[in-house]
Amino acid sequence: MKLSINKSITEEKLIDGCVKGKSWAQKSLYEKYSPLMLGVCIRYLKDRDDADDVLVQGFMKVFSNISKFRNEGSFEGWIRRIMVNECLTFIRKNRSMYLETDIEKAENDPDYSVLDSQLEADDLIRMIQELPVGYRTVFNLYAIEGYSHAEIAEQLGINVNTSKSQLSRARAFLQKQLLEAEKKLNSKIIGDEY
């Protein structure tokens, strides 16, 4: 019986291998980070094919710029920033995707205590993906990535007030979706009681 010890490759070795253009390192790095980064891309781009294309484009940028990573901060964060920037580039190139729709103001606040126990993370992701592109982009940048409205405006080439308006509309849309989810849960609970 042959005993082999499988040593895990450190992030530092992966980065060094990628800097040297080693295909094994690029493959390992891609396999390690692509599932997480695909999730980032899907948050910005509703269409899975577009997200896949942007993911590949983003990793091409990662590999061509990896020598610029200076071990300041998280490597995953560095890759994430490249992916977000690639998503934003895609959205800017496809400005026709920015069609906005008016959303009627939510009449009351959802009961988050009811939703808290029933709503899954997948449901929230689905709700975010249903946002119109402009709303979804600003919401992701502000609420998830932590950008300021000034940074969002600069990244997207829009006015700061437009960023604030898009975020407000995204929140109203999500609030409406949460109210609908609450109504469905309440009717299901009532239906189950009878």
User: What global pTM score does this model have?
Assistant: 0.69
What's the gap between Cα 186 and its chain centre? 30
**Sorting pLDDT into bands at 50, 70 and 90, what band is 191?**
low
Q: Does residue 1 fall inside a structural domain?
A: no
Q: In terms of domains, do 113 and 89 share one?
A: no
Amino acid letter at 151?
E
Task: Tell me the average pLDDT of the chain.
Answer: 81
Same domain, 65 and 14: yes
Are 168 and 135 contacting, i.e. CB atoms less than 8 angstroms apart? Answer: no
Tell me the per-residue pLDDT of 3-28, one tens digit each, with 9 for 90 and over: 443 446 788 999 999 999 999 999 99
Residue 81: give the domain boundaries: 9-93
For residues 44 and 140, is the Cβ–Cβ distance under 8 A? Answer: yes
pLDDT at residue 52 tops 50? yes
Please, which residues have CB within 8 angstroms of residue 181's CB and are 6 or more apart in sequence? 110, 115, 118, 119, 123, 127
Angle among Cα 60, 30, 124 to the nearest 5 degrees reads 100
Cβ burial of 159 (10 Å; 0-12, 13-18, 19+) is: exposed
Residue 157: CATH number of its domain:
1.10.10.10
| Residue at 157: amino acid letter | G
Q: Tens digit of pLDDT for each residue in 119-148?
A: 566 777 888 888 888 899 999 999 989 999
Q: How far apart are CA 51 and CA 137, in angstroms?
A: 13
53 falls within a domain: yes
Cα–Cα dist 7/121, whole Å: 34
Element holding 2 (H helix, E strand): none
Assigned domain for 3 exists: no
Q: How far apart are CA 17 and CA 42, in angstroms?
A: 28
pLDDT tens by residue, 53-102 = 999 999 999 999 999 998 888 999 999 999 999 999 998 888 655 444 44
Number of domains observed in the structure of the chain: 2
